[in-house]
Amino acid sequence: MASTQQPQNLRRHIGGRQARPFWGAIVCGCGVLCSPMFAEVKVADFGTTTDGIAVKQYTLTNSHGVVVKLIARGATLAEWHVPDQHGNMDDVVFGFDDVAGYESKDNGYFGATAGRVANRIAGGKFKIDGQEYTLAKNDGPNTLHGGLQRSLDKVVWEGQSFEKNGEQGVAFKYVSPDGEEGFPGKLTCRVTYTLTDKNEVRIDYNAATDKATPINLTNHAYFNLSGAGSPTILDHELMLAADHYTPIDETLIPTGQIAPVAGTPFDFREFHKIGARVDQLTDQPGKGYDHNFVLNSQTGKLALAAKVRDPKSGRVLSVYTTEPGVQLYVGNFLTGAKGKGGKTYNHRSGLCLETQHYPDSINQPKFPSVILRPGKTYQHTCVYQIATE
Ligand code: GAL
């Protein structure tokens, strides 16, 4: 098609708003604008929550045909279709085909944005400026991933799709009222996903509060680089840019110690198969890796945190973050949930690399602070990139 005309149906109604199309201007030899590259984020209805709230699904595509789907419940990374070393596409993250799946007890925070405080808070309690706050305990004696009912993975976010510099994305916003799940302050959270032409999913987090409050946002995607539903991740090889980790007690709360990884099964400074030493870890519920690693980069600048190689598919996941820590969780609590397309997510068949501050930081004065104060902005970037080798 050689045309300078915009198609009639260019302005489409998306999610209750007008979508702005992206035009890649391609000027060919004849000097006219040829084959305009029309890229638009696809928006569809994904279903309705049990509370009657409609959930949108957003489909992002890049120039290599990589497809990412996001859903507004939990600002969730729901699908990521990427080629293997032979060019075959697989969806490499866990998820469900419908809202009911995400609302079910089988959902171990698949792909969700976890918060307001991802990871654990010991005893479901903390103090800020002398005032004590009590939260719901949803993980034995502790609070996990922001609480019981209206943690950030369970609420429906407002999504706004965009196209910028040829890349597609969705900006999600959720305003958590003062006191929600027991946390102080009205917290305005933004999570922006961008699919880049380097096959990266870039996640930019941003938040502001009107009262001092703890915050620790992360993404809880489970990856299996052979394709979600493949039997194991114990054959994946992992490298972590971490000389130290935070040992935990029998309820997975850090002891406060920052321990060297050298000479332990936590030493991933060079690639090791996840399965090689996982069974040496028997001291905590679930056993296996479920630990925070203290990243070598503590500058707040984007730096490599982890790499995962899958010898079978040739896919390699690289994780970059501005955060000081990453939680490695290897699916110890998975028990065979039925996910997308009827695939089964068995014990240790998915792994999470959750970039974040350290668990229970709000009660651990020696850990980097998670307190956000009015007038300050919380910011965090995490980039997941999948390539082949
Ligand atoms: C992880 C956490 C695990 C488990 C999981 C959800 O982030 O480290 O212990 O709770 O979430 O099943």
Tens of pLDDT, residues 249-284 = 999 999 999 999 999 999 999 999 999 999 999 988
| Contact predicate 92/223, CB 8 Å | yes
Smallest CA separation from ligand 1 atom 9, residue: 290
Ligand 1 centroid–CA 328 distance in Å is: 9
Confidence of residue 105 (pLDDT cuts 50, 70, 90): very high
- Mutation test residue for ligand 1: of 352, 353, 358, 360, the one with most atoms within 8 Å of CB: 352
Question: What tokens does 192 get?
Answer: 């922006």
State the pLDDT at residue 30: 33
- Write out the catalytic residue numbers: 220, 354
CA 12 to chain centre: 29
**Which DSSP symbol is given to 223?**
B
Is any atom of ligand 1 closer than 6 Å to the C-beta of 290? yes
Question: What tokens does 349 get?
Answer: 């068949």
Nearest atom, ligand 1, residue 118 CA: 7
Q: In this model, does residue 16 exceed pLDDT 70?
A: no
Q: In this model, does residue 383 exceed pLDDT 90?
A: yes
Ligand 1 centroid–CA 354 distance in Å is: 10
* Cα torsion 110, 285, 360, 267: sign: negative
Q: Report the greatest alpha carbon distance in the chain.
A: 72
pLDDT digits (tens, 9 = 90+) for 301-331: 999 999 999 999 999 999 999 999 999 999 9
- Mutation test residue for ligand 1: of 249, 250, 329, 360, the one with most atoms within 8 Å of CB: 329
What does the pLDDT average to over 297-304?
Answer: 97
State the pLDDT at residue 353: 99
State the pLDDT at residue 185: 98
State the pLDDT at residue 23: 36
Ligand 1 centroid–CA 329 distance in Å is: 7
The neighbouring-strand residues paired with 44 are 57
Ligand 1 centroid–CA 86 distance in Å is: 33
Q: In this model, does residue 154 exceed pLDDT 60?
A: yes
Ligand 1 centroid–CA 220 distance in Å is: 9
CB atoms under 10 Å from CB of 349, counted, come to 24
State the pLDDT at residue 289: 98
| Contact predicate 113/191, CB 8 Å | yes
Ligand 1 centroid–CA 288 distance in Å is: 12
pLDDT exceeding 70 applies to what percent of the chain?
Answer: 90
Report the alpha-carbon angle 318-324-326, nearest 5: 50
Is any atom of ligand 1 closer than 6 Å to the C-beta of 327? yes
**115: helix, coil or strand?**
coil
Is any atom of ligand 1 closer than 6 Å to the C-beta of 180? no
Question: Picking from 149-153, 282-286, 383-387, which range would have the lowest pLDDT averaged per residue?
Answer: 282-286
Question: What tokens does 3 get?
Answer: 């045309």
Smallest CA separation from ligand 1 atom 5, residue: 108
Cα(112)–Cα(218) distance, rounded to whole angstroms?
8
Report the alpha-carbon angle 367-371-374, nearest 5: 155
Residues recorded for the chain: 389
Is any atom of ligand 1 closer than 6 Å to the C-beta of 109? yes
State the pLDDT at residue 4: 31
| Contact predicate 288/277, CB 8 Å | no
Is any atom of ligand 1 closer than 6 Å to the C-beta of 153? no
Label residue 10 exposed, middle or buried (CB < 10 Å: 0-12, 13-18, 19+): middle
pTM over 0.85: yes
State the pLDDT at residue 270: 98
What does the pLDDT average to over 61-88?
Answer: 98
CB contact set of 133 (below 8 Å; sequence gap of 6+): 125, 126, 127, 182, 183, 184
Confidence of residue 41 (pLDDT cuts 50, 70, 90): very high
- Mutation test residue for ligand 1: of 107, 289, 333, 348, the one with most atoms within 8 Å of CB: 333
